[in-house]
């Protein structure tokens, strides 16, 4: 999928489901038409600030660049979010560009159930960091499940078919609901499942320009 033109995407999906690819709406057209509904959805879900429930802050990951990812809670609604704290004096231009690509792509994919969504930012509360908030989608890596439970899962043919269908829909959303290209190809490392396997997510996707 990486670096492929929209016309090629349309041709591929024409061969998959039989739809005339010339009638398929391509990403820039879709985003233009759905801009108002995306903004309404974003504003309804937006996180403007977070708190930590008067308990020790749980750091999820410390990056060598100085970025901190930690667990936080929406100040208004109380649900958990991933909070990325980026130093206000940040010299890693390429990392920052890639991070804002993530924000742009996941905001466009706000109506897709297959990708964690960008939920907002706070650049006022912390003197040293800008804070960016993302939806948390829990799940287990499909690659690990296939490794650990391969013999058990081999008997679950309907489940494999269900996953294949859900992944096809997920790829469709990335193809037609986002104007950003993939920086890296997707693999099983990006696929997560939860709720006894009935929910499928794509995580840790790297979006380019």
Q: What pLDDT does residue 99 have?
A: 93
In this structure, the strands spanning 129-134 and 80-87 are: antiparallel
Residue 7: which pLDDT band, with cuts at 50, 70 and 90? low
pLDDT range class, residue 10, cuts 50, 70, 90:
low
Q: What is the pLDDT of residue 187?
A: 87
pLDDT of residue 3: 47
Give the start-end residues of each E strand in 111-207: 118-122, 129-134, 140-141, 191-194, 199-202
Quick check: 8 pLDDT over 60?
no
Contact indicator for 114, 186 with CB cutoff of 8 Å? no
Q: Select from 128, 121, 142 the least CA-distant residue to 190.
A: 142
Alpha carbon of residue 170 to chain centroid: 11
Total residue count of the chain as it appears in this document: 209
More confidently predicted of 38 and 84? 84
List, for residues 45-79, the tens digit of each pLDDT value.
Answer: 999 999 998 888 999 999 999 999 999 999 999 99
Q: Give the separation between CA 200 and CA 186, rounded to whole angstroms.
A: 14
pTM recorded for the entire structure: 0.82
Q: Per-residue pLDDT tens for 11-27?
A: 555 555 555 556 667 77
Phi-psi region at 158: left, alpha or beta (left = phi > 0; alpha = psi -120 to 50): alpha
Q: What are φ and ψ of residue 131, in 5° steps?
A: -115, 135
Are 201 and 139 a contacting pair, CB within 8 Å?
Answer: yes
User: Would you place residue 4 in the very low, low, confident or very high pLDDT band (cuts 50, 70, 90)?
Assistant: low
- Where is pLDDT greater, at 144 or 192? 192
- DSSP H/E element including 87: strand 80-87
Place of tokens 């939920």: 119
Q: Is the pLDDT of residue 177 over 80?
A: yes
Amino acid 146: pLDDT:
76
- Report the distance separating Cα 125 and Cα 49, nearest Å: 8
* Local confidence band at 29 (pLDDT 50, 70, 90 cut-offs): confident
Q: What superfamily does domain 6-140+164-202 belong to in CATH?
A: Phosphorylase Kinase; domain 1 (3.30.200.20)
The whole-number pLDDT of residue 12 equals 56
Scan for tokens 């690990």, then name that residue: 144
Q: Which residue has the higher pLDDT, 64 or 151?
A: 64
- Identify the bridge partners of residue 200 per DSSP, sorted by sequence position: 193
Predicted local distance difference test score (pLDDT) of residue 80: 96
The token pair that represents 122 in the structure block: 């706070």
Q: CB–CB of 81/72 below 8 Å?
A: yes
* Structure confidence by residue, pLDDT tens digits, 92-150: 999 999 999 999 999 999 999 999 999 999 999 999 999 999 999 988 888 887 776 66
């Amino acid at each position: 999928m990486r670096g492929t033109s929209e016309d090629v995407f349309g041709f591929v999906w024409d061969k998959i489901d039989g739809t005339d690819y010339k009638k398929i709406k391509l990403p820039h057209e879709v985003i233009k038409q759905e801009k108002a509904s995306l903004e309404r959805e974003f504003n309804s879900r937006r996180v403007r600030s977070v708190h930590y429930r008067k308990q020790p802050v749980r750091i999820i990951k410390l990056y060598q660049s100085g970025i901190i990812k930690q667990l936080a809670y929406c100040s208004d609604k109380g649900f958990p979010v991933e909070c990325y704290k980026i130093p206000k004096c940040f010299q890693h231009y390429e990392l920052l560009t890639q991070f804002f690509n993530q924000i742009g792509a996941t905001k466009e994919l706000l109506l897709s159930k297959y990708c964690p969504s960008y939920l907002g930012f706070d650049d006022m509360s912390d003197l040293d960091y800008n804070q960016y908030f993302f939806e948390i989608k829990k799940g287990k890596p499909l690659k690990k499940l296939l490794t650990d439970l391969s013999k058990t899962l081999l008997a679950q043919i309907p489940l494999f078919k269900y996953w294949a269908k859900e992944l096809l829909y997920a790829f469709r959303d990335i193809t037609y609901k986002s104007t950003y290209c993939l920086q890296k190809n997707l693999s099983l490392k990006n696929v997560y499942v939860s709720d006894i396997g009935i929910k499928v997510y794509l995580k840790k996707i790297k979006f380019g320009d």
